[in-house]
Amino acid sequence: MRIEYLEIHNFKSLQNVVLKNIPGMAVFIGRNGVGKSALFDVFSFLQDSLFNDVSVALKSRGGFREVVSRGQNGDISFILKFRPEKGAPLISYELSIGLNDKQIPVVKTEIMRIRPGSKGKPWPALEFHDGKGWAAEGDLTDCQSAKEGKNRLLRALNSPRILAVKALGNMADFGVASKFCQRIEDWLVADFHINDAREITNVQLAKRLAKASHNLASVTHYTRHNQARHGPKIIEVMKQYVPGIIDIQTIFTEDGRIALKFIDNNFQEHFLSSYVSDGVIKIFTYLLLLYNPERRSWLGLIEPENQIYPKLLSLLVEEFRQYSVGEGQEKAGQVFISTHSPDLLDAVNLEELYFLVKDLDGYASVMRAADNKQIKEFVEGGDLLGYLWNHSLLIEGV
């Protein structure tokens, strides 16, 4: 899934934000409190709304009044334009959430449109208002099907708090809604916690890392024993980051739990994860995430530079970039990164960088660095983005 356009209104500090021409890997910088966390929470909020409903997603964030932009009385709304896969038609998804007459949050509007060609007119595939509307049958991500159109079936949801794409996504007849739901369910905002990753966990089947990486040992065990091609590849790459490491294995404790052990060729005895440095754990966690064959359609990484030796960040950025491109049989997965690290920024291309600033009214603005003439001239003159950031030129030059 490649999100090409994102529009946000009245969501926390993002009162009126538009991102266009979003690349496969997008890096976001800004001072503290300008809205980077809010931007990444847009994806968590949409995912929570799909898994549960909009009421639950809002309640976990303090309720509608805490989520809607300060001083604003309108609805919270989003527009995403994306292609579910390479070569597929562009799909536009619009969602607005507001309070009804009883001050209960509901889905006011939910519309999905499909543009069959580069210049074709968008064709509506789904439209719901306050829990009632219609949806078109069929797998409309096929260009010819989108041009021809499909029958529209009237529907009524059990509750206006439920997303229509969720209700229809479980039905085989509505292929476009199903694909969209699968992509959102696949999103991951990775906020890895080192202490959680060190835990000796209960043995359980885990193919993919959780948000806080508490199942690191279980995923490692699964990868070593069920993904013969990827396990050794991860170890080979790990050797480039941490000299001396020759293998990472799993062991079972007497009480039936699972733990990681790191094999260093300089020592006869292995090291349990409890006694390995934060940086080694963090790097291994990222590699296990990036080399998992079941790639995430969208991946959000919050300050990946923490605990990692600065000189290794350029290698890690290239790993993220390759993840967004895809290699061989591996599917591409879009990557969003928030950072404060000059060393990480030195490995970022100008077209991949966005910066957030706070307007005079207190709301956030998001701008693409490549659209700023002065920043572009700095880079063309030989300055690295990390240098510009370290000297406040990426912000002061706006």
**What is the band of 144 on the pLDDT scale with cuts at 50, 70, 90?**
low
Predicted local distance difference test score (pLDDT) of residue 352: 97
Predicted local distance difference test score (pLDDT) of residue 329: 54
**Beta-ladder partners of 257:** 202
Sequence letter at residue 148: E
The structural domains of the chain, ordered by start, are 2-22+36-187 (3.40.50), 189-348 (3.40.50.300)
**Beta-ladder partners of 123:** 114
Predicted local distance difference test score (pLDDT) of residue 203: 59
Give the residue carrying structure tokens 């229509």. 164
Where on the phi/psi map is residue 303: left (φ > 0), alpha (ψ -120 to 50), or beta?
left
Q: Share the mean pLDDT of the chain.
A: 87
Instruction: State the helix-helix crossing angle for 230-241 and 278-290, rounded to 10 degrees.
Output: 140
Predicted local distance difference test score (pLDDT) of residue 397: 47
Predicted local distance difference test score (pLDDT) of residue 364: 94
Q: Where are the beta strands (DSSP E) in 283-332?
A: 298-302
Predicted local distance difference test score (pLDDT) of residue 58: 97
Q: Taking 80 as the threshold, does the pLDDT of residue 362 lie above it?
A: yes
Number of other CB atoms surrounding residue 41 within 10 Å: 19
Task: Dump pLDDT digits (tens) for 81-129.
Answer: 998 777 788 899 999 999 999 999 999 999 999 887 666 778 888 999 9
Q: Taking 70 as the threshold, does the pLDDT of residue 68 lie above it?
A: yes
Where on the phi/psi map is residue 179: left (φ > 0), alpha (ψ -120 to 50), or beta?
alpha
Q: Taking 80 as the threshold, does the pLDDT of residue 201 lie above it?
A: no
Q: Taking 60 as the threshold, does the pLDDT of residue 336 lie above it?
A: yes
**What is the band of 227 on the pLDDT scale with cuts at 50, 70, 90?**
confident
Q: Which of 39-48, 49-58, 155-164, 388-397 has the lowest mean pLDDT?
A: 388-397
Q: Taking 70 as the threshold, does the pLDDT of residue 327 lie above it?
A: no
Q: Taking 60 as the threshold, does the pLDDT of residue 140 lie above it?
A: no
Q: Taking 60 as the threshold, does the pLDDT of residue 396 lie above it?
A: no
